[in-house]
Amino acid sequence: MNNAEYTALAGKVASNNKLKVISNNAANASTSGFKGDDVLFQKWLHYDFNKDNSMPVDAKTVTNYVQGNLQQTNNKFDFAIIGTGFFAVIEANGNRKFTRNGKFTLNSEGILKDMNGRSVSDVDGGEINVGQEYESFDVLKDGRIFVNGAEAGTIGIFEFAQDEVVLKGRYGDFIINGEPAPVDITRTSLIQGMIEGSNVDTILGLLELTETNKQVESNNLVINTNRENIRSTYKIFSKSND
Alpha-carbon Rg for the chain in angstroms: 25
Please state the pTM of the whole predicted model.
Answer: 0.79
96 and 16 belong to one structural domain: no
Q: In the prediction, which pLDDT does 54 show?
A: 56
- For residue 5, the model assigns a pLDDT of 58
For residue 113, the model assigns a pLDDT of 97
Q: How many domains does the chain have?
A: 2
Residues of the chain whose pLDDT is less than 50? 45-50
Domain match, 80 and 47 both:
no
Examine the domain organization and report whether 138 and 224 are in the same domain.
no
180, 131: one domain: yes
* The Cα angle at residue 181 between residues 175 and 185, in degrees rounded to 5: 120
- Residues 6 or more apart whose Cβ sits within 8 Å of residue 186: none
Range of the domain at 152: 70-196
pLDDT above 70 covers a percentage of the chain that reads: 77
Same domain, 40 and 151: no
